[in-house]
Amino acid sequence: MAADDVRSPGSGGPAPLTDRVNTEPPIINGMSATEGGYVAAVSFAIFLVVGFLLFLATGYWHFIFASSVIGPFAVLWQASLYLQQVKRNKPEGWYVQAARLWLDDHGPGRKRYLRHHGYFELGRRIDFDVVSPSGSERADLARSITTPNSQQP
């Protein structure tokens, strides 16, 4: 309940269900304010340089203002649509972890993550039957389970 709510406990309706506890709320098409700030800052710097180059080429100072305002809004909208596709049906922070893993593989510096590509091997094959065998058949089945041969594909 809110701090200014003076109702007694249990007298009101049900508590609101929250699905994004301790996460940053989305503001534009699922993009958070932090992500939007990063995208806006980088695109503003790029479009400021583009506007300055257009000013040098044409002599109209209006290009500096127009490109540094309109350009970042367009980039912010397109980036939010892209991140909406990237984030769909993924856990919170998935794409940040994926970017860090990509940088770990392709970027400079030491490796920070322990990763192992393989599978869990029990050392024997387990047959899962829908119908369970009786007691005597179960003992025979246990004796017949063999370990996979390294020559078999």
Confidence of residue 40 (pLDDT cuts 50, 70, 90): very high
What is the reported pLDDT for 113? 74
In degrees and rounded to multiples of 5, residue 78 shows phi and psi of: -65, -40
Lowest mean pLDDT among 30-44, 75-89, 100-114, 138-152: 138-152
Burial class, 47, CB count within 10 angstroms (exposed 0-12 / middle 13-18 / buried 19+):
buried
**Top-confidence residue, 49 or 128:** 49
pLDDT over 90 percentage in the chain: 31
**Long-range contacts of residues 86-90, Cβ cutoff 8 Å, at least 24 apart:** 87/30
Q: Work out the percent of the chain whose per-residue pLDDT is above 70.
A: 61
Note the residue count of the chain. 153
| Cβ neighbours, 10 Å, residue 80 | 19
| pTM score above 0.85 | no
Q: 69-73, 107-111, 141-145: which has the minimum mean pLDDT?
A: 141-145
pLDDT at 47: 96
Could you please report the per-residue DSSP string of 22-90? Answer: TSPPEEETTEEHHHHHHHHHHHHHHHHHHHHHHHHHH--THHHHHHHHHHHHHHHHHHHHHHHHHHTT-
User: Is the pLDDT confidence value at 103 over 60?
Assistant: yes
pLDDT at 75: 96
Quote the pLDDT of residue 25.
79
pLDDT of residue 28 exceeding 90: no
**Cβ atoms within 10 Å of 28's Cβ, excluding its own:** 17
pLDDT (tens digit per residue) in 123-151: 666 666 666 555 555 555 555 555 555 55
